[in-house]
Amino acid sequence: MGSRSRGGSGSGLLLPFLLLHLLSLLRCSSAAGGNEPYVGVTIGTAVTNLLSPSDLASFLRAQRITRVRLYDADPRLLNAVASAGARAIVGVPNDELLALGSSPATAAAWVSRRVLPFAGVNASTPAVISAVAVGDEVPTALPSALPVLLPAIRSLAAALAAANLSSIPVSTPLPFSVVEDPFPPSQAFFNQSLARSLVAPLLAHLANTSAPLMLNLYPYYALMQSGGVIPVDNALFRPLPPSLEMVDPNTLLHYTNVFDAMLDAVRVAVRNLNATPGAPPPPILVTETGWPSFGDRRAEPYATKDNADTYNSNLIKHVLEDRPGTPMAPGAQAQSSAYIYELFNEDLRPGPVSEANWGLFYGNGTPVYLLHVSGAGGFLGNDTTDRSFCVAADDADEKAVQAAMDWACGPGRADCTAIQPGQGCYFPDDVRSHASYAFDAYYQSQGRAAGSCYFQGAGMVTTTDPSHDKCLFPGSKLLGNVTGSGGANTSTTPTSDAVGSAIWRLRTGRENGFFLFLQLLLSIAVVIVMDSNFWT
Ligand SMILES: *[C@@H]1O[C@H](CO)[C@@H](O)[C@H](O)[C@H]1NC(C)=O
Ligand SMILES: *[C@@H]1O[C@H](CO)[C@@H](O)[C@H](O)[C@H]1NC(C)=O
Ligand SMILES: *[C@@H]1O[C@H](CO)[C@@H](O)[C@H](O)[C@H]1NC(C)=O
Ligand SMILES: *[C@@H]1O[C@H](CO)[C@@H](O)[C@H](O)[C@H]1NC(C)=O
Ligand SMILES: *[C@@H]1O[C@H](CO)[C@@H](O)[C@H](O)[C@H]1NC(C)=O
Ligand SMILES: *[C@@H]1O[C@H](CO)[C@@H](O)[C@H](O)[C@H]1NC(C)=O
Ligand SMILES: *[C@@H]1O[C@H](CO)[C@@H](O)[C@H](O)[C@H]1NC(C)=O
């Protein structure tokens, strides 16, 4: 605790992508461990009112979190992780490195005390520990411990091997700042004073033991330090027009986001170091990434809830759904897994304002902000305040959205009064906004039942309240009554009942007799079939 420090890629000089000499680049074809990519969360404990271990266990289970990274090997936390059925990277804190690195016997004792009870060595112990992270960002956080870092890693790996546990990899999370000139990625290389003393022997150890290269990787800091070179959208995984995308002049690869550019910079640095000729490069495991939701207004302008929601939601989608790999190592097989920094706001951490505001939740499990995480198998999607909403999916086709809205307000019998002209949610007057309201009205009317926000792919569940201005969405806590109708202060207009909504007029130029007729037919069909799940 307390020795963690993030970012600090002060040495990572950011150059605009310039046309420079051509490098011939081999394509990394190695798979990232062969397993499915996953997203985990880091759990720091500098928190005033942290959930008790048993509450933590049910919280992890409710949020479908199956991978966590701890910064030590606290048995109470490991027991909570075990009873949630999840797995954990355990850590050796930087201030224990000296003892472990200077005495193999101490390292062996650490393994038998900390790891064995959670390594599944016999039927009465759970298999919780997925990896050991030795130290954290040692080159920047505690450079004086660098001489003992490799010895500590080797001693711990040897002790694990002696206990027949060589399947548990041992590595050390490096700060991204060990990579120099990361942009464009094709020119990256490791800090020369660390390359031979630390990185090369580390890579040899990793290759020898099939362990991943662990990196803490923060597009947020890259953005902060770029002096305007990096567009914020690029850091947040938001699509940019092709003309604004970053193009690596040496490879002509397009980078749609900074995260992938950072991963490729690491790949190039590994290849240029050539520490393990002939061996495939190690898979990269992102042991920390994230975005602060609050910071100093002047010094940390990008630390907002909106940006944090966007970054972390898009990261989850990137790793769990899209799985593009990176431009240099494309494909789901090469997709790196990542741990979001961090699960809880660590209010006790000193430093800049943002330092205490990286969490997805407060220590008691209340969300700091609500993620957009549809389609991630329920991962982090359980709104502990029991609020979720259904809106038009970002990437859904407009025609599909319109058709689904017509269904929701018609046969679906959602109360669409509030999006009629003159009502609270009429503005903004566009298909997506209206459909979002209609989808949500249907979703809430079905008690947020599983599948009631599908709409043939046009809907997505969000835990962010889409209410705005005077438009309160069904289910909003602002409404004070989750079953009430939205459209704030439509007061004199009584909300229409199910029959009323069945004759809801089709909007946006489709109010012709044919569609009304079709809709009527559909309503009849639905009444007959009841509970038809065609759309949802
Ligand atoms: C390389 O790493 C060393 C040790 O951490 C550090 O002192 C030095 O400033 C780094 N060099 C550059 C160019 O950042
Ligand atoms: C959300 O969490 C609550 C409380 O732990 C649990 O009862 C509920 O089943 C969870 N919902 C989903 C959809 O996982
Ligand atoms: C199982 O392994 C643990 C950890 O090594 C040990 O403490 C315990 O005695 C073992 N139990 C059995 C039944 O062998
Ligand atoms: C090591 O583990 C393997 C299976 O993982 C088992 O077959 C073997 O007996 C174990 N050896 C020792 C010495 O525990
Ligand atoms: C690789 O592992 C073997 C045994 O597992 C060990 O003898 C050797 O020293 C290791 N090499 C490196 C470079 O770590
Ligand atoms: C919410 O509305 C329902 C009926 O629509 C009513 O039965 C319930 O008492 C209301 N709850 C609150 C807190 O107003
Ligand atoms: C609704 O209208 C009443 C009276 O005009 C007002 O006091 C109240 O704040 C309004 N509520 C909302 C949510 O706008």
Distance CA 501, CA 109 (A): 70
Catalytic annotation, pick one of 96, 137, 180, 342 = 137
- Domain boundaries 29-38+173-373, corresponding CATH code: 3.20.20.80
pLDDT value of residue 275: 95
The reply to whether ligand 1 has any atom less than 6 angstroms from the CB of 193 is: yes
Distance from residue 516's CA to the centre of ligand 5 (Å): 75
Specify the pLDDT at position 456.
Answer: 83
398 assigned to active site = no
Q: Which of 36, 96, 245, 288 is catalytic?
A: 288
- Which among 27, 16, 121, 113 is positioned nearest to 73, based on CA atoms? 113
Phi-psi region of 68 (alpha: psi -120 to 50; beta: other; left: phi over 0): beta
Q: Which atom of ligand 5 is nearest to the CA of 201?
A: 13
Backbone angles phi, psi at 349, to 5 degrees: -80, 130
Residue 320 and residue 313: Cα distance in Å, rounded? 11
Look at residue 460 in the predicted model and tell me its pLDDT: 83
pLDDT of the residue at 374: 67
**pTM reported for the whole predicted model:** 0.74
Residue 25's pLDDT is: 27
High-pLDDT (> 70) share of the chain, %: 82
| Nearest bound ligand to the CA of residue 200 | 5
CATH 3.20.20.80 location in the chain: 29-38+173-373
Please identify, by atom number, the ligand 7 atom nearest to the C-alpha of residue 488.
13
What is the torsional sign of CA 413, 419, 424, 430? positive
Choosing from 149, 180, 194 the residue with most ligand 1 atoms within 8 A of its CB, the one to mutate for a pocket test is 194
Under-70 pLDDT residues of the chain: 1-34, 374-375, 383-386, 450, 480-536
Listed residue (42, 46, 45, 153) closest to 97, CA to CA: 153
**How much distance in Å is there from the Cα of 238 to the middle of ligand 7?**
36
